């Protein structure tokens, strides 16, 4: 099985670094470890994420592909990422450069897909605020809750 993990980035090097480090920590205990390719599409014409992607390739345990999408906007970049997936890809997973996956993130998605023969699987996004002094009421309003 081949899974293409598609990541869109735009001038968020620290977020991308944290995300890719998280992807590198993925574990598989319930299912067999799939073949994984990670596709990073930079929506910054200057290619601000290229150097970091090149630097981590040798220590990255999955195949890492990098490309630039010249048309601005998340839909163009996501379409480019999906189009960049290998021809024999079985599944596409999309995660943003401001998210950090749990170590079992991809395994859980694939397990649910296999268990229920689902065409599409999604999971919640748990919000973590960088600021420590965020008012309690702000964290509870609906804007910060994922809808399934």
Q: Where are the domains positioned within the chain?
A: 2-144
CATH class of 2-144: alpha beta
pLDDT surpasses 50 at 136? yes
* pLDDT of 144: 55
CB 97 within 8 A of CB 5: no
Dihedral-angle region of residue 9 (phi above 0 means left; psi in -120 to 50 means alpha; beta otherwise): beta
pLDDT surpasses 70 at 15? yes
Mean pLDDT of 123-128: 77
pTM for the full predicted model: 0.88
Mean pLDDT of 121-129: 80
* pLDDT of 148: 44
Question: For the chain, how big is the Rg over CA atoms in Å?
Answer: 16
Query: Beta strand 2-9 with 91-96: parallel, antiparallel or unpaired?
Result: parallel
- Residue 37 is encoded by which pair of tokens? 């390719």
HSE-up of residue 29 (Cα within 13 Å, Cβ side): 5
Mean pLDDT of 76-84: 99
CB atoms within 10 A of CB 147: 7
* pLDDT of 137: 80
């Amino acid at each position: 099985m081949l899974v293409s993990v598609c990541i869109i980035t735009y001038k968020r090097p620290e977020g991308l670094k944290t995300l890719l480090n998280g992807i590198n920590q993925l574990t598989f205990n319930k299912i067999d470890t799939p073949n994984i390719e990670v596709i990073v599409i930079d929506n910054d014409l200057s290619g601000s994420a290229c150097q970091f992607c090149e630097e981590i390739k040798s220590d990255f345990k999955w195949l890492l592909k990098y490309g630039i999408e010249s048309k601005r906007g998340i839909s163009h970049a996501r379409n480019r990422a999906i189009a960049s997936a290998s021809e024999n890809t079985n599944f596409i997973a999309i995660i943003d450069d401001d998210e950090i996956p749990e170590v079992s993130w991809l395994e859980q998605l694939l397990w649910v897909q296999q268990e229920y023969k689902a065409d599409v699987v999604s999971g919640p996004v748990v919000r973590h605020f960088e600021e420590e002094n965020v008012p309690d009421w702000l964290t509870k309003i609906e804007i910060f809750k994922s809808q399934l």
